[in-house]
């Protein structure tokens, strides 16, 4: 089942408001779409998680705590 457009917009807004690159939203949405389509095997879930983690910029994380 495709994601609700409001979910997509919310993810994109959250990523933007936290100063992350659009690739973070793209990868998060790919992960959410994959999870909504079927139950993911553990290795695929880990692969998608890693893809998201690889593009998150944590350089300013302490500033936001």
Q: Is the pLDDT of residue 42 over 80?
A: yes
Distance from C-alpha of 41 to C-alpha of 17, rounded to nearest angstrom: 31
Distance CA 42, CA 36 (A): 15
In this predicted structure, what is the pLDDT of residue 29?
A: 96
Predicted pLDDT at 63: 65
Q: What is the pLDDT of residue 18?
A: 92
The dihedrals phi and psi of 61, each to the nearest 5 degrees, come to -60, -40
pTM assigned to the model: 0.82
Residue 56, exposed/middle/buried by CB under 10 A (0-12, 13-18, 19+)? middle
């Amino acid at each position: 089942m495709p994601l609700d457009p409001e979910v997509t917009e919310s993810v994109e807004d959250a990523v933007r408001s936290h100063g992350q690159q659009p690739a973070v939203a793209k990868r998060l949405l790919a992960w959410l779409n994959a999870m909504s389509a079927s139950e993911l095997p553990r290795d695929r879930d880990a692969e998608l998680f890693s893809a998201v983690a690889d593009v998150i910029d944590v350089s300013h994380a302490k500033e936001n705590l």
